[in-house]
């Protein structure tokens, strides 16, 4: 009898069983219908994003560039979107939610930096409309991903398993955000930042509006203060960032060339916040100055701030026409410099994060990363090099000691107390002028009478026993 009771089939009450059985097909049909709508929404949003990518790369490329210059930045994101659209219905609910969030955040980033921001600072033009629509599609995907994660939560599971699943999904979202979304969004912002207008600047002396062409055919626009003693200095980046330095140089009679680098202001080309390819811009600037009647081609120097300092170091290593270089605030521009960063690895970004960032930059910039600066700076010698870093500046400026150690003589490193990133002139204006002008005077004006202000600064330095700008600093 006990055995019969043990194996007796369980009977479901008639009032419950048939109703529940009848509801199962309807519930299953509703789920299939909801899944189709979800997939359709995801694919439609991705289609809008692909249209924006194609428009940006091939239909409305930046002035001076062609569709052929954007094969990687156009085809690779489009191919990834197609794969994601095809794979989406086959993914588990948690992964579908994460996919929606990842794609949505990246599309929203692109829409903001390349569409909405350009309209805000200038006007609606080019690919702005499709970029803004991609941003809207990104918002849709973020909402879809969030809704998918919420709707597919399992309420019928036991608490340990339920919260275990949610914890795994949450961890997957955080990992995807940190290792994929953040570095890729950073690369989008670094290669697709909207142009802004360039306001007139006071350079201390009258300047000319000039333009010149790079070796790869881009027209760059700038300002030039003519030289009074046949020596000239190129100051980068941009026409406004080094304006105070230009005024200082102009007071001492130097010709000063400021210009919008590629993809910036009124210059043609694709923007790159890390200055990839910027060596071609500075080389074109050197050629422009060498052809000026007021400039001696053997008396051209360069002064670079931040990314401009990195561009100047690379160019000086490749072009001997730059006779003296001042680099202030140089740091990291690709994975190559991170290898040489003396800061402990625990204080830096994870290696995988840096790899994704560099790969994303390479795709979106349509070029390979530039060579590491540590391996280049030794090629600047025997031309003099002055490195400047603010002790209160960016952490990556500590690499200036690495660059100094790798460089050959004559060289100097000035570590400026209480100075932020590229703020040494503001922190110590008199000392900055004495060091930098003295540096250029010795390199570009040998055997000539220096301007009165430089002579006074030199006399003051001699009377106070201050060291030469070409002596190394701790």
Q: Specify the pLDDT at position 467.
A: 36
Angle of the 159-176 helix axis to the 93-111 helix axis, nearest 10: 30
Q: Specify the pLDDT at position 162.
A: 60
pLDDT at 458 over 60: no
Contacts of 26-34 spanning 24+ positions with Cβ under 8 A: 34/151
Contact indicator for 415, 441 with CB cutoff of 8 Å: no
Q: How confident is the model at residue 10 (pLDDT cuts 50, 70, 90)?
A: very low
Average pLDDT over residues 427-444: 97
Q: How confident is the model at residue 462 (pLDDT cuts 50, 70, 90)?
A: very low
Q: Specify the pLDDT at position 342.
A: 76
DSSP 299-343: -EEEEEETHHHHHHHHHHHH-TT--EEEEES---SSHHHHHH--S
Average pLDDT over residues 215-235: 97
Could you list the beta-strand ranges (E) of 126-254: 208-213, 219-225, 232-236
Contacts of 329 (CB under 8 A, 6+ apart): 305, 306, 309, 388, 389, 390, 393, 394, 397, 421, 422
Of all residues in the chain, the percent with pLDDT exceeding 70 is 81
- 296-351 pLDDT, tens per residue? 999 999 999 999 999 999 999 999 999 999 999 999 988 888 888 776 543 455 66
pLDDT at 181 over 50: yes
Could you list the beta-strand ranges (E) of 52-130: none
Is pLDDT larger for residue 178 or for residue 145?
145
Is pLDDT larger for residue 29 or for residue 150?
150
Return the structure tokens found at 227: 């030289």
Angle of CA points 341, 343, 348, to nearest 5°: 85
Average pLDDT over residues 235-250: 96
Lowest mean pLDDT among 199-203, 417-421, 449-453: 449-453
Is pLDDT larger for residue 357 or for residue 348?
357
Q: Specify the pLDDT at position 27.
A: 63
Contact indicator for 242, 235 with CB cutoff of 8 Å: yes
Q: Specify the pLDDT at position 344.
A: 53
Lowest mean pLDDT among 11-20, 72-81, 128-137: 11-20
Return the structure tokens found at 42: 């995801």
Distance CA 384, CA 15 (A): 94
Q: Specify the pLDDT at position 124.
A: 84
Q: Specify the pLDDT at position 123.
A: 79
Q: Specify the pLDDT at position 207.
A: 97
What is the bridge-based pairing of β-strands 385-390 and 219-225?
A: unpaired
Q: Give the mean pLDDT of the chain.
A: 86
Lowest mean pLDDT among 27-41, 249-263, 328-342: 27-41
Return the structure tokens found at 390: 């603010």
Q: How confident is the model at residue 185 (pLDDT cuts 50, 70, 90)?
A: very high
Of 436, 343, 322, nearest to 387 by C-alpha is 436
CA 9 from centre of chain: 68
Distance CA 330, CA 328 (A): 6
Average pLDDT over residues 87-99: 89
Burial class (CB in 10 A: 0-12, 13-18, 19+), 301: buried
pLDDT at 274 over 90: yes
Distance CA 402, CA 342 (A): 8
Q: How confident is the model at residue 465 (pLDDT cuts 50, 70, 90)?
A: very low
Contacts of 357 (CB under 8 A, 6+ apart): 183, 184, 186, 187, 335, 349
Average pLDDT over residues 61-80: 95
Q: How confident is the model at residue 469 (pLDDT cuts 50, 70, 90)?
A: very low
Return the structure tokens found at 90: 């086959």
pLDDT at 429 over 80: yes
- 360-374 pLDDT, tens per residue? 999 999 999 999 999
3-class SS of residue 129:
helix
Strand partners, 386: 326, 412
Place of tokens 């250029």: 440
pLDDT at 98 over 90: no
Distance CA 330, CA 353 (A): 21
3-class SS of residue 461:
helix
DSSP 166-182: HHHHHHHHHHHIIIIIH
* Strands ordered across the beta sheet of 300-305: 208-213, 219-225, 255-259, 232-236, 300-305, 324-328, 385-390, 411-416
Q: Specify the pLDDT at position 363.
A: 96
188 sits in which H/E element: helix 182-191
């Amino acid at each position: 009898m006990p055995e019969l009771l043990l194996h007796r089939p369980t009977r479901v009450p008639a009032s419950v069983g048939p109703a529940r059985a009848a509801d199962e097909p309807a519930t299953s049909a509703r789920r299939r219908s909801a899944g189709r709508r979800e997939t359709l929404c995801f694919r439609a949003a991705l289609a809008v994003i692909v249209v924006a990518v194609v428009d940006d790369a091939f239909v409305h490329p930046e002035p001076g560039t062609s569709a052929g210059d954007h094969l990687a930045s156009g085809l690779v994101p489009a191919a990834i979107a197609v794969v994601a659209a095809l794979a989406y219905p086959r993914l588990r609910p948690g992964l579908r939610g994460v996919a929606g969030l990842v794609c949505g955040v990246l599309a929203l980033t692109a829409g903001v930096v390349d569409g909405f921001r350009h309209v805000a600072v200038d006007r609606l033009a080019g690919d702005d409309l499709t970029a803004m629509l991609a941003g809207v599609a990104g918002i849709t995907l973020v909402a879809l991903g969030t809704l998918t994660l919420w709707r597919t939560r399992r309420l019928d599971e036991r608490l340990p398993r339920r919260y275990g699943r949610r914890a795994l999904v949450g961890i997957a979202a955080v990992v995807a955000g940190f290792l994929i979304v953040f570095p890729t969004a950073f690369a989008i912002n670094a290669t697709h930042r909207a142009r802004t207008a360039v306001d007139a600047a006071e350079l201390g002396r009258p300047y000319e509006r000039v333009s010149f062409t790079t070796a790869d055919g881009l027209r760059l626009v700038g300002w030039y203060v003519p030289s009074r003693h046949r020596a000239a200095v190129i100051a980068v980046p941009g026409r406004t960032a080094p304006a105070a330095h230009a005024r200082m140089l102009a007071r001492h009679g130097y010709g000063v060339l400021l210009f919008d680098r590629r993809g910036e202001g009124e210059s043609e080309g694709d923007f790159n916040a890390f200055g990839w390819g910027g060596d071609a811009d500075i080389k074109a600037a050197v050629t422009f100055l060498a052809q000026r009647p007021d400039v001696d081609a053997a008396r051209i120097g360069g002064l670079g701030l931040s990314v401009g300092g990195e561009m100047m170091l690379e160019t000086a290593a490749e072009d001997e026409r730059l006779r003296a270089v001042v680099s202030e605030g140089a740091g990291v521009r690709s994975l190559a410099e991170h290898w040489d960063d003396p800061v402990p690895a625990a204080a830096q970004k994870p290696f995988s994060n840096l790899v994704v960032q560099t790969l994303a930059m390479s795709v979106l910039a349509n070029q390979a990363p530039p060579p590491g600066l540590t391996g280049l700076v030794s090629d600047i010698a025997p031309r003099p090099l002055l490195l400047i870093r603010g002790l209160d500046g960016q952490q990556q400026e500590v690499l200036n000691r690495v660059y100094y150690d790798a460089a050959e003589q004559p060289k100097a490193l000035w570590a400026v107390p209480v100075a932020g990133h590229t703020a040494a002139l503001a922190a110590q204006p008199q000392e900055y002028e004495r060091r930098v002008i003295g540096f250029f005077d010795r390199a570009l004006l040998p055997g000539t009478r220096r301007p009165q202000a430089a002579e006074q600064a030199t006399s003051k330095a001699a009377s106070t026993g201050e060291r030469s700008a070409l002596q190394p600093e701790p």
